[in-house]
Amino acid sequence: ETGVTQTPRHLVMGMTNKKSLKCEQHLGHNAMYWYKQSAKKPLELMFVYSLEERVENNSVPSRFSPECPNSSHLFLHLHTLQPEDSALYLCASSGTEGINTIYFGEGSWLTVV
């Protein structure tokens, strides 16, 4: 149990589908993050939310749309993805953005066909 729960763990979707990844943290943290982990590449930060406001968007394509309805939940809405978007998507949280240690969820494996 990591304190950060992601669902689904595995997702296969077509390029025309719309799906969402969900993340929930049970740690009382104020900041939440989406990272993309591809094989043989460093983890890429996609989005940062601090106190439910987006504070960082690292030039992610608009086919990825985050949503943070409250400090415990974070979504990543997926629409018209490309095969190269197949990767492990990691959610993480921390006490305060930029200060505390970041804790990761187990990830959602996404395959785009």
Partner 1 sequence: AQSVSQHNHHVILSEAASLELGCNYSYGGTVNLFWYVQYPGQHLQLLLKYFSGDPLVKGIKGFEAEFIKSKFSFNLRKPSVQWSDTAEYFCAVRRTSGSARQLTFGSGTQLTVLP
Q: Say if strands 108-112 and 10-13 run parallel, antiparallel, or are unpaired.
A: parallel
- By CB under 8 A, is residue 53 in contact with partner 1? no
- Asked if 14 and 63 count as a contact pair (C-beta separation under 8 A), the reply is no
Rg of the Cα atoms in the chain = 13
CB of 105 to partner 1, least distance (A): 6
- By CB under 8 A, is residue 60 in contact with partner 1? no
CB of 63 to partner 1, least distance (A): 22
Q: Which of 54, 102, 95 shows the shortest CA–CA distance to 76?
A: 54
Residues that bind partner 1 (CB under 8 A): 2, 4, 33, 40-43, 45, 48, 56, 90, 92, 97-99, 101-107
